Structure 1
Amino acid sequence: METNGAVTLEEAGDSPTSPGMFVASKQLRDRRGCRSENLRDWPILPREEFTGPLGAHAYIQQCIRIDPANVEHICECDNSMWDEGLWQLEHLRQVALELSGLVVLLLDVCTKEKCPQMKASDEWVFLCAAHRLPQECCAIDYIAHTLEGTTAVLNSNRWLPARGTPPPPESEKVFKSIARRLHRIFAHVFFHHMHIFQLFEDQHHLCQRFLHLIKRYHWIKPHQLIIPSNFFAMRAAPGAGYYHAGEEAGDSMMGARFVAFDPDKPREDEDEELDLDELIKEMS
């Protein structure tokens, strides 16, 4: 089966020379040498086709490919097909995967000289736990270390089950800890590289989807959110746009105000959360 000469549908076989999107016993992959405009020009498959260990992840990717702006549809789990915990896990894997594209855009602007510390607002400096003792890292190194550690945990059978297997209820603590750390990456880009944030978000809507997942699954309590919780709602208003670099989260925007992160608010759930840093250290 072919679509614009770019896609083949064939028997699955995991080969390093034929990476692709696996759906049950079939594989969708791009033809070697196909034009860039035909990349991932795959046929849209019904949800029922997405069975097997990678079914949930493949379906999430198809929904993103169809319309990345439709975050509610992308995040909606069909409980007749997938466990809710598995759905959360595959979404976290997808967010971590897509964040690598944001890192590429940051390489020339988020340098050691320009961002010597990992900050969101100017009030907080985050210490990097990828070292024997937590210490300050420049922002780009902190981001890289966080993604490396997160990827290791998300793909570790020691802490999470094999692909396609519903995670145990206690995995919720892992999800919350991962979400808090990934949220810091978005927050740094939001406050310090708004032009990159806008460029990436206009195409991928990744932060909007991530915040929707946070709200849906209560990964982070509202008062702990660093990115203004009403930012995307305000952006969607008629005539709205991004606020300019240099404005603080509490500054006026289009006659309204952001709901800003309150650093003085106590961390009520701190004792309940799993320390992802300790997991990463145990794995190393």
Structure 2
Amino acid sequence: MSNSKNEHFENFVLVGAAAVAVVSGLIYGAYLVFPFLMFYLAPFILVSLVVGTILRMVGAPGDGVSSLSSSKAVVTVYAVMLCLVGLVFFQNLDRAKVLDAKGKLTNQVVVDWPELNDWHHEWRVRMYTDAPFESLRAKAKMGVVYDRLEVGWIFLVGMFLGAPLVYWFLARHDEETVNAIVDGLVNERTKAKRDQLKTKEDNLNQIINQSKEKLEAEIHASRKKQAEIMAENQSLKAKLEFAPDIPRPSESFKKDGGVLDQDIF
């Protein structure tokens, strides 16, 4: 009985230790990941959204023919933004080194944007000073440079990786839009010709209908005249048949008698 209780207690201790280790690992990982999310990933997402949206606005298909092929405008704007990023963030990359009183190099450098670097350093100190782990609290004393060059790399990665993805997502239905625009332009440009063809077709149908009506009238008149002629012919036949002064075929020849009826003398 005591052995069974000891086994249950040992299992409980092992499960508790594993749970504490997992929770501690999650907390430790959160302390490590959160600065990266705030100072690197969030700006990367923001830059990607802004640049991708600008490229989409420039390359969005419009109502005119010239807007259907906007690749030149997109490439031009993209090149201008890359040039601006290079001029702002990657000019004069060598940071000035700080010397001590004896003229020897130290691990310190002169930053280009001290306000940004100081704000980043103060935020790290506040976060890691009250951390639950000694190794994390030691990070509060470490100096990490967050300056113009680091922000420039965030902009550059965002423009090369995130912005094209945002542009592709926003332009995923461009094919349907372009097809609709092309159909509208075709209908607009061919409207006059289609109207002319419709007018010619209507005139031709009118001529055909008039000719058909005229022909039907002539056929009707011809049939009526034919009926009148046939009626007149029947009337003439009747008059000829019953006229008294006109010899009939049956009376024009006298019937010959027999041999005894002939006067031979």
TM (norm. structure 1) is 0.18
Structure that is richer in helix per residue: 2
Larger of the two Rg values belongs to structure: 2
Higher relative contact order (CA closer than 8 Å, sequence separation 6+): 2
TM (norm. structure 2) is 0.19
